[in-house]
Amino acid sequence: MTKLVEKQGGSFYTGEYRNLFKEIGKTEEEINQRIKDNWEQLFNGAEDTRIYYPVGDNLGYMLDTGNLDVRTEGMSYGMMMAVQMDNKDVFDRLWKWTFDYMYMTTGENAGYFAWSCQPDGTKNAYGPAPDGEEFFAMALFFASHRWGDGPEPFNYSVQAKEILRTCLHKGEDGVGFPMWNKENKLIKFIPNCEFSDPSYHLPHFYELFALWAYEEDRAFWKEASMASREYLKISCHPETGLAPEYAYYDGTPNNERGYGHFFSDAYRVAVNIGLDFEWFRGDAWETEEANNIQAFFADKDPADYRRYTIAGESFEEKSLHPVGLLATNAMASLAADGPDRLKWVESFWNTPVRTGERRYYDNCLYFFSLLALSGNYKIWMP
């Protein structure tokens, strides 16, 4: 079972957030300027760095520059970045674009958001991706607590609760499927399948959903937080710390379509381990896991990052997102206590945002790591 470490250390209990950049000798002024500069690059910068595009007077979207589409992943990430940066204009533009173009009102997925659209808002698919929904809900709760609710669709807390209700209760009328398996409390890769994606598991979010969701669902979210921590233990390799992109409910890699290896999706596991430890000190195992990941990559050059089996065997295929992988490995330092934890922070500090075609995913992970390592990825309470 989950072994909780001292809760007093988690930011949820103390209201304090560690700044690992200060631990490597950076000043408050340097850190704040770095955050400001990187935000400008991603949201207002030149075409080789920006991933956010405003539209008209009140809309905006995050562009997946490698695939030239707009994804619930990126839109929800952008909203989380905006609320952490106290930028209500960007947040509201992203949310209105999402609500206007991605929200589905008919069919078996009514109540969910289409996971991919074209930049003009045309849907590329009519299926959802659960990682978008869970990030939308968390960002909307934080927005409600930071800025207060407004008229629909800016009644943020109501929108968050409705998203979570749909995620759990979809299909009870015989139409569609929920995003969580109600028996084992694990998030699915997509609603109409019965396997998971370890990087979708956000126990630190579920702890907060257990406080703020509709009352009848709160017990489920508390159980889901514990179930996800246990699931991460069985899906991450005990020596390398690597997780597959897709995994069955017993934690074994699901390689039916070639997604049973450590590749792009799986980079986010280190992020989620780090943030759960920072916010809640969720499980003592998270320190061991963070140490394992950092040790595995300690002798590897980011220019030569590759696809790996979870046991650590490398493929010829290079990583599509080496900057993102370096950033997530650095964010694991929030949970790590190994000898190289601050070397990863230093390495990240010395790495610029990615430019060019594949910059979107790398720079989303990059900015989350920047916020977290500086103590600025915060829980916004009511």
- Tell me how far apart the alpha carbons of residues 361 and 346 are, in angstroms, rounded to a whole number: 21
Bond from prior residue into 178 cis (ω within 30 degrees of 0): no
- Tell me how far apart the alpha carbons of residues 283 and 148 are, in angstroms, rounded to a whole number: 32
Active site residue 133: no
User: Residue 9 corresponds to which tokens in the numbers above?
Assistant: 């250390």
Active site residue 316: no
For residue 30, which amino acid is it? Answer: E
User: Residue 169 corresponds to which tokens in the numbers above?
Assistant: 């209760």
The SS3 of residue 62 is strand
Closest among 287, 286, 246, 252 to 266, alpha carbons compared: 246
pLDDT band at 8 (very low <50, low <70, confident <90, very high): low
Catalytic residue among 134, 230, 265, 288: 265
In the predicted structure, residue 2 carries a pLDDT above the cut 70:
no
Residue-level pLDDT at 6: 45
- Tell me how far apart the alpha carbons of residues 366 and 382 are, in angstroms, rounded to a whole number: 28
- Tell me how far apart the alpha carbons of residues 342 and 347 are, in angstroms, rounded to a whole number: 8
- Tell me how far apart the alpha carbons of residues 351 and 45 are, in angstroms, rounded to a whole number: 18
The label of the residue with tokens 């990941």 reads 293
For residue 309, which amino acid is it? Answer: T
Strand partners, 261: none
Average pLDDT over residues 33-54: 98
Residue-level pLDDT at 318: 98
Residue-level pLDDT at 257: 87
Phi first, then psi, for residue 288 (nearest 5°) are -60, -45
Q: Hey, which CATH number is domain 1-45+236-382, 3.30.830.10, 3.30.70.1400, 3.40.50.970, 1.50.10.10?
A: 1.50.10.10
Per-residue pLDDT reduced to its tens digit, 124-167:
999 999 999 999 999 999 999 999 999 999 999 999 999 999 99
Q: How much is the pTM?
A: 0.97
Closest among 296, 349, 348 to 322, alpha carbons compared: 348
Closest among 311, 294, 275 to 345, alpha carbons compared: 294
Catalytic residue among 64, 73, 207, 245: 73
Percentage with pLDDT > 70 across the chain: 98
Average pLDDT over residues 302-314: 98
Strand partners, 123: 117
Per-residue pLDDT reduced to its tens digit, 339-376:
999 999 999 999 999 999 999 999 999 999 999 999 99
Residue-level pLDDT at 290: 98
- Tell me how far apart the alpha carbons of residues 178 and 180 are, in angstroms, rounded to a whole number: 6
The helix or strand, by DSSP H or E, that contains position 380, with its residue range, turns out to be none
Task: Give 15's contacts (C-beta < 8 A, 6+ positions apart).
Answer: none
Handedness of CA 143, 144, 145, 150 (dihedral sign): positive
Selected residue with higher pLDDT from 67 and 6? 67
Average pLDDT over residues 8-35: 96
In the predicted structure, residue 3 carries a pLDDT above the cut 50:
no
pLDDT band at 9 (very low <50, low <70, confident <90, very high): confident
Residue-level pLDDT at 253: 98
Closest among 141, 109, 137 to 123, alpha carbons compared: 109
Q: Where do the structural domains in the chain lie, given as residue ranges?
A: 1-45+236-382
